[in-house]
């Protein structure tokens, strides 16, 4: 910390290196709207950048201005902020690093910066200080389940804004499941023509067996919409990773293309939740049929990763399918349990052909799994952890499933799937603890499954402030008491934005 404050005024101008031109909107869009200041932008280009180079250029800070600087010595997500009474200097070596710098500057400003319109009487100032910062873990992710309840593009953008503000850098989109299909596939149009909508949804909790409310539910994203969302996220330092979950969780896909089914094909997407028995018959012909799905999405999403799901496959349909013994002989596999690893290796080959690495839930682990595959551990302990063969993303349901209740007093909480994950419990999590080898863990991820979250209000209530706690676990945390002290002030940003969150309550913890 340094003495004094920098005051934004009508004389303040913003100078940006050309690489960060789009990034300036992170700051300028909300600050102009809330303050009414003009904040004119000047983009200073550099010959090296214009011709594809990355040489370092120092942009001289002018009195009373904000300057976004490209620095060759700052790598990856690393950034620096220098605030003095005479100006603000933001430095990074990448667009992602600059996004973090700009979001931190927003956090230094009054919460009113997030107002939807002009705010009178606010002193638009940032405290003088010097920040040099970088994350502990490279993967700090959030997963949104867009299938059980559809999440519109406008809401996804609001989630991206909030995740980026808290320095989360990966958003995994769960795009298919038993209950629907959520992304346009031009080569397989029935996935959206026939099964983007389901005829109804289970009333109350699945365990209550109260029947189905016969109100159609669904929606899907066009590839043009998703391409625009990818760009929106990238500017804010967030990478979008698609998930297509096969060979289980395939009821919707099998309703669209029944020839893919092992056993009886469903007639429509599932209206209930849980682990269903439907499965794709793992033949070469079926793999050739579904490969274009992956190829279209690998072309659409620039992320080097592609999530193939692979969890919770029930073997009942394969076990009772009379065609399976012949497949085992043809593929020279010893048992039925060798079929999913075979299927996974085939998907990995498609990904490698397109320059991608696969991620899968921990059920994809097998001694023959290609070494560049990444394991997402949702049960928290897998053989790959101990052996250190594969990179691992920790996503344990015990700490990081945010569709769980937020208090042991569940009668006072909205309907949730099960379990209790309090804010303090999230903050207590250490992804490097337990049986895992720290050398191969690349980060952590929180999951927001939406079986019982039908509205934006419900989804935000379950997401925040638990994602705030996860963000610090991923970036670098202090103590829970210190976190809570800062969080109380931070929640005022949610109030200004109109974001729903679960209020802090003294009975939950030490708050």
Distance of CA 481 to the CA centre of its chain: 27
Residue 386's contacts (CB-CB under 8 Å, 6 or more residues apart) are: 435, 436, 437
Dist CA 132 CA 414 (whole Å): 40
Q: How many CA atoms lie within 13 A of 145 on its CB side?
A: 27
The sign one gets for the Cα dihedral 232, 234, 235, 237 is positive
Per-residue confidence (pLDDT) for residue 396, from 0 to 100: 96
End-to-end CA distance of the chain: 27
Q: Is the peptide bond before 288 cis (omega within 30 degrees of 0)?
A: no
Tokens at 88, concatenated: 């603000």
- Asked if 156 and 142 count as a contact pair (C-beta separation under 8 A), the reply is no
Q: State the SS3 of 173-184.
A: EECEECCEECEC
CATH 3.30.379.10 at 5-133, yes or no = yes
From residue 424, alpha-carbon distances to 120, 136, 310, 427, 507 in Å are 37, 20, 31, 5, 12
In eight-state DSSP terms, residue 43 is: E
DSSP H/E element including 15: strand 14-17
Residues belonging to the chain: 511
- For residue 20, is it left (φ>0), alpha (ψ between -120 and 50) or beta? alpha
Q: Cα-Cα-Cα-Cα dihedral of 144, 147, 150, 155, to 10°?
A: 10
- Asked if 234 and 172 count as a contact pair (C-beta separation under 8 A), the reply is no
Name residues of the chain where pLDDT drops below 50.
47-60, 385, 510-511
Dist CA 5 CA 86 (whole Å): 9
Dist CA 118 CA 114 (whole Å): 10
Per-residue confidence (pLDDT) for residue 383, from 0 to 100: 59
Cβ count within 10 A of residue 243:
25
What's the CATH number for 139-508?
Answer: 3.20.20.80
Q: 79-84 and 87-92: which strand pairing?
A: antiparallel
Dist CA 100 CA 140 (whole Å): 13
Q: How many CA atoms lie within 13 A of 466 on its CB side?
A: 29
Residue with tokens 């700052």: 74
Per-residue confidence (pLDDT) for residue 63, from 0 to 100: 64
Tens digit of pLDDT for each residue in 441-486? 999 999 999 999 999 999 999 999 999 999 999 999 999 999 999 9
Max CA separation in the chain (angstroms) = 78
Q: Which segments of 55-187 does DSSP mark as H helices, in order? A: 95-108, 153-165
What residues form DSSP beta bridges with 208? none
Tens digit of pLDDT for each residue in 8-55? 999 999 999 999 999 999 999 999 999 999 999 999 975 433 333 343
Per-residue confidence (pLDDT) for residue 154, from 0 to 100: 98
- Asked if 74 and 131 count as a contact pair (C-beta separation under 8 A), the reply is no
Query: What is the pTM (predicted TM-score) of this model?
Result: 0.95
Q: How many CA atoms lie within 13 A of 410 on its CB side?
A: 11
In eight-state DSSP terms, residue 72 is: T
Q: How many CA atoms lie within 13 A of 261 on its CB side?
A: 18
- Asked if 451 and 415 count as a contact pair (C-beta separation under 8 A), the reply is no
Dist CA 500 CA 502 (whole Å): 7
Dist CA 301 CA 81 (whole Å): 31
- For residue 209, is it left (φ>0), alpha (ψ between -120 and 50) or beta? left
Outline where DSSP puts E strands in 284-327: 305-307
Tokens at 267, concatenated: 């007639």
Domain borders along the chain are: 5-133, 139-508
Dist CA 412 CA 327 (whole Å): 52
Pick the closest to residue 362 from 344, 380, 345 (CA basis). 380
Cβ count within 10 A of residue 405:
20
Burial 287-306, CB ≥16 within 10 A → b, else e: bebbbebbbbbbebbebebb
Dist CA 161 CA 59 (whole Å): 28
């Amino acid at each position: 910390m340094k003495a004094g404050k920098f005051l934004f005024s009508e004389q303040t101008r913003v100078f940006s290196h050309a690489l960060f031109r789009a990034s300036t909107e992170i700051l300028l869009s909300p600050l102009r709207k809330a303050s009414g200041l003009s904040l004119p932008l000047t983009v200073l280009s550099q010959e090296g950048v214009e011709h594809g180079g990355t040489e370092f250029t120092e942009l001289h800070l002018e009195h009373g201005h904000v300057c976004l600087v490209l620095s060759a010595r700052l790598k990856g997500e690393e950034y620096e902020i220098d605030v003095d009474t005479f100006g603000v200097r933001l430095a990074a070596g990448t667009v992602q690093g600059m996004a973090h710098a700009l979001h931190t500057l927003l956090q230094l400003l009054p919460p009113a910066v997030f107002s939807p319109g002009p705010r009178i009487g606010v002193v638009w100032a940032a405290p003088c200080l010097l920040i040099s910062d970088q994350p502990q873990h490279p993967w700090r992710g959030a997963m949104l389940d867009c299938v059980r309840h559809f999440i519109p593009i406008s809401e996804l953008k609001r989630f991206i804004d909030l995740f980026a503000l808290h320095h989360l850098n990966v958003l995994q989109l769960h795009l298919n499941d038993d209950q629907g299909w959520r992304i346009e596939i031009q080569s397989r149009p029935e996935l959206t023509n026939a099964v983007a909508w389901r005829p109804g949804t289970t009333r109350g909790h699945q365990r209550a067996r109260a029947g189905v409310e016969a109100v159609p539910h669904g929606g899907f994203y066009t590839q043009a919409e998703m391409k625009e969302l990818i760009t929106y996220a990238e500017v804010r330092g967030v990478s979008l990773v698609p998930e297509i979950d096969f060979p289980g969780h395939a009821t919707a896909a099998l309703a669209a293309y029944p020839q893919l089914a092992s056993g009886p094909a469903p007639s429509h997407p599932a209206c209930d939740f849980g682990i269903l028995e439907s499965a794709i018959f793992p033949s070469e012909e079926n793999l050739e049929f579904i490969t274009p799905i992956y190829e279209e999405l690998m072309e659409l999403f620039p992320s080097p990763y592609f999530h193939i799901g692979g969890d919770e496959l029930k073997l009942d349909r394969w076990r009772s399918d009379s065609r399976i013994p012949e497949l085992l002989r043809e593929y020279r596999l010893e048992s039925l349990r060798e079929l999913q690893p075979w299927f996974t290796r085939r998907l990995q080959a498609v990904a490698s052909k397109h320059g991608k690495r696969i991620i899968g839930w921990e059920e994809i682990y097998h001694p023959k799994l290609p070494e560049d595959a990444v394991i997402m551990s949702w049960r928290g302990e897998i053989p790959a952890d101990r052996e250190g063969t594969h990179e691992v993303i920790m996503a344990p349901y015990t700490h990081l499933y945010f569709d769980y209740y937020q208090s042991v007093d569940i009668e006072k909480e909205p309907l949730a799937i099960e379990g209790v994950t309090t804010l303090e419990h999230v903050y207590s999590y250490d992804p490097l603890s337990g049986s895992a080898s720290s050398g191969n863990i690349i980060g952590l991820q929180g999951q927001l499954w939406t079986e019982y979250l039908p509205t934006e209000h419900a989804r935000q209530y379950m997401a925040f402030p638990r994602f705030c706690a996860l963000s610090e676990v991923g970036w670098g945390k202090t103590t829970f008491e210190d976190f809570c002290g800062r969080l109380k002030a931070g929640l005022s940003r949610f109030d200004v934005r109109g974001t729903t969150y679960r209020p802090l309550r003294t009975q939950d913890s030490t708050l």
